Amino acid sequence: MEVLMPVPQIYVERTLAIIKPDVIDKEEEIEDLVLRSGFHIIQKRKLQLSPEQCSNFYAEQFGKVFFPNLTAYMSSGPIVAMVLARDCAVSYWKELLGPSNSLRARITHPHSLRALYGTDELRNGLHGSLSISSAEKEIRFIFPEAILEPVATGQRARDYLNLYVKPTLLAGLTALCKEKPADPM
């Protein structure tokens, strides 16, 4: 009896994570938690946004009561922005963050990042994209040089591997075999 194995597929999604000004001193600790949670940090940069840049970044929040305080808070000091990748990155990151109100997070999600590092609803320590489309938009805002192409799957992935990866591997392995090094590593 022949067992059919499912065709392996690559499921990689990206999301934006921001360590906000008031917890910037916990950067290494937070990064360690991020990595231990199965994320890969694809890009990272430390920067300080101007109030105008914060207004543009949080444009969807414009008109809400907390908007002026949010832009003042986010421009009050440096932030660390990271592009995180893994399968279902947006939903896993939101789950790891917990509720946006840190006080509520301490009650309902005591091990979440916002429960651990946030102080209130506004100063919740970290930012996370709400959806895949907002993640793409936010990543482009913070990392304008980022290339955000969809990850190929199915036949497109097999075509890419056959056209670009396999010939390179074959040439490299053939050259290595011809050399017959004593210690190939």
- Residue tagged active-site, from 40, 109, 111, 127: 127
In the numeric block, which tokens belong to residue 118?
């946030």
DSSP 164: I
Among residues 98, 48, 93, 44, the alpha carbon closest in space to that of 74 is found at 48
Active-site residue 109, yes or no? Answer: no
3-state secondary structure 105-156: HHHHCCCCHHHHHCCCCCCCCEEECCCHHHHHHHHHHHCCCCCCCCCCCHHH
CA distances from 91 to 15, 79, 97, 103 (A): 9, 22, 10, 21
Give me the active site residues, please.
127
